[in-house]
Amino acid sequence: MLLVILECRDGEIGDADKGILSAANRISTLMGGSWSAALVPGESVVDAAPFAPYGVPTIFVTSGVAEAANSPELQGKLLARLAREQNASLILLPHTDAGATLAPLLAAELDAALFTQATAVRSAQEGLELQHQALGLQIARRRYWDGRRPLVLTMPVKFLSQVVLPSMKPSCPEITVRPADIPELFPRTTIIERIPPDPQTVDVSEAEVIVSAGKGCDPHTFAQVKELARLLNISLGVTRPVYDLGWTGFERMIGQTGRAVAPRLYLALGISGSMHHLGGIKESRRIVAVNSDTKAPIFANADEGFVADLKELLPRLLERVRQTTGGAA
């Protein structure tokens, strides 16, 4: 039996939840068994309709534990208890901040094996083949799970597809509310504050929106790109040639030997689209490119492309953004 853990912040099904539900549907088919979903204790939903396309039969919700919302320790104990009751052999989570925190807690509570950031799960003669990429995605490491011991498994959000496949049979999910009258599990640790990441300093591989500068930028236009990123409060990226010029640090370089990214929006300014760079942005959900060369390879890999001179475009774009933002981030 497979149990997938969903975050559903503020009662809404998010992108990570949709992706891990899609993965759970597929993996449960590989296992040939049943599956269900559980919300992280402290969260709740009232509408099961958004879950129906993914075919999940049951959604477990824990009620009566307000402290759980700020205690991963308590969340782990409650979810482990549910996993035992449901005889779950595989517990699946998205590798978000919450998932990465809960996974080792669950593994410890269940005396289970732990495999984090699996990029692929396949059926094999030995059981399930789990793949993990390391060293800048250059090396694939494989392990096999034979099912003799429970497994806690996490998958990176950027490798999860939210697409509802034709093979997924819609369901009428049943929301099962479970009371949590367990004072003996009162948490010893509590989260007192959650600080959202700053797009200006967050690791570019975790950024939601990125504006990236290529060798089509000169020092003046690059300064304008940086200002655009500041005004819009989004992340800045660069290609290898821009990094080689010393205009920014290695942590901002995007490509196969730099950072691989998977933002919701990737804005490529003055980037021709070398194979090295394209390999690092291929998981982006939407790519918008601006280049003066009509034959630039980036256009064939972009969702939208604009042929324009950055020296003419950027001043106009900045002026429009300043009018909208009031000139400050």
**What's the pLDDT tens digit per position in 250-301?**
999 999 888 889 899 999 999 999 999 999 999 898 999 999 999 999 999 9
β-pairing verdict for 287-291 and 265-269: parallel
Residue 90 is predicted with a pLDDT of 96
How many whole angstroms separate alpha carbon 36 and alpha carbon 57? 6
**What fold characterizes domain 2-185?**
Rossmann fold (3.40.50)
Of 6-10, 125-129, 146-150, 161-165, which range is least confident?
161-165
Task: List residues bridging with 47 in a β-sheet.
Answer: none
Residue 140 has pLDDT above 90, yes or no: no
Backbone φ and ψ of 58, nearest 5°? -135, 140
Averaged pLDDT, 218-240: 94
Helix, coil or strand: residue 94 = strand
What does CATH list as the number for 204-325? 3.40.50.1220
Averaged pLDDT, 222-240: 94
Residue 162 has pLDDT above 70, yes or no: yes
Averaged pLDDT, 116-125: 91
**SS3 sequence of 105-168:** HHHHHHCCEEECCCCEEEEECCEEEEEEEECCCCEEEEEEECCCCCEEEEECHHHCCCCCCCCC
Residue 132 is predicted with a pLDDT of 86
Which has more confidence, 307 or 201? 307
> How much is the pTM?
0.69
Q: Where in the chain is the domain with CATH 3.40.50.620?
A: 2-185
Q: How far from each other are the two terminal CA atoms of the chain, in whole angstroms?
A: 49
Which has more confidence, 202 or 281? 281
How many whole angstroms separate alpha carbon 115 and alpha carbon 129? 11
* 8 A C-beta contact, residue 271 and residue 253: no
Of 45-49, 144-148, 183-187, which range is least confident?
183-187
* 8 A C-beta contact, residue 94 and residue 20: yes
- What's the token pair of residue 232? 């819009």
Helix, coil or strand: residue 198 = coil
Q: Where in the chain is the domain with CATH 3.40.50.1220?
A: 204-325
Q: How far is CA 179 from CA 66, 86, 312, in A?
A: 12, 15, 62
State the helix-helix crossing angle for 310-325 and 219-232, rounded to 10 degrees: 20
H-helix or E-strand spanning residue 27: helix 15-31
Residue 64 is predicted with a pLDDT of 66
Helix, coil or strand: residue 44 = coil
